[in-house]
Amino acid sequence: MSKASRPRTAVERRERLQQFLDALDQRYPNVTCALHHNDAWQLLVATILSAQCTDERVNKVTPELFRKYPTIQDFAAVSQDELARDIHSTGFFNNKAKSIIGAAQKILNEFGGEIPREIDQLLTVPGAARKTANVVLGTAFGIASGVVVDTHVSRISQRLDLTKETTPEKIERDLVRILPRERWIQFAHQIIHFGRELCVARKPKCAECPVEALCYAKDKSPL
């Protein structure tokens, strides 16, 4: 186990965070969202489909889905049963189909067919909870509306002691407080890659970790 110690002052905490961000930049300089998409609408659909499902599985389903339904109007007009069959392999297909159809209808009826760029408006769209809204605004439009908090961001923010919170909303509140705004979008992309590659949930690969010297997590793997 490493001898990394807790920072004691605000300055030490800031320096440690900066070292962590620098290490992420070095290891993951150009990472982005793994969900394939051509525009904001497709990213919204893919993100809704990714709930409780891997990005790889979603990326297998979406090419045919977007061929069959090339426009938002096509999604607004399809029956829930038919769409549920098309997205069956992503799991929770009835709820996801309902959300996607509801999102398409809302965007057509209330936003002129354009994905809203204000988070408060986007949050009114079916299926667009806070995480999804941050994904779409950050990745499709480059708008830093918040920090995407998924399972990787939650776990690693806790391990790196960037938060003591356990709910996504409160974790995000802590992260937007300590991270510079220009890092909000990229931070989540980098952490998601880091969480898949090294800081995995069980038996993290601490011996290969570029920030091992900064980490005093209780569940570190023995070196």
Give the interface with ligand SF4 as residue ranges (CB under 6 A). Answer: 159-160, 198-199, 204-206, 209, 211-212, 215, 217, 220
Provide the minimum distance between the beta carbon of 134 and ligand SF4 in the complex, in angstroms, as a whole number: 23
Output the six-digit token pair for 209: 């970790």
CB closer to ligand SF4, 140 vs 217:
217
Provide the minimum distance between the beta carbon of 45 and ligand SF4 in the complex, in angstroms, as a whole number: 32
Cβ–Cβ contacts within 10 Å for residue 204, how many? 22
Q: What is the dihedral of CA 46, 23, 154, 141, to 10 degrees?
A: -30
d(CA 80, CA 142): 32
d(CA 84, CA 95): 8
Closest CA to 76 of 109, 48, 122, 47: 109
d(CA 149, CA 13): 21
Question: Active-site residues: which are they?
Answer: 131, 150
d(CA 158, CA 115): 33
Provide the minimum distance between the beta carbon of 146 and ligand SF4 in the complex, in angstroms, as a whole number: 23
The DSSP secondary-structure symbol of 138 reads: I
Provide the minimum distance between the beta carbon of 183 and ligand SF4 in the complex, in angstroms, as a whole number: 17
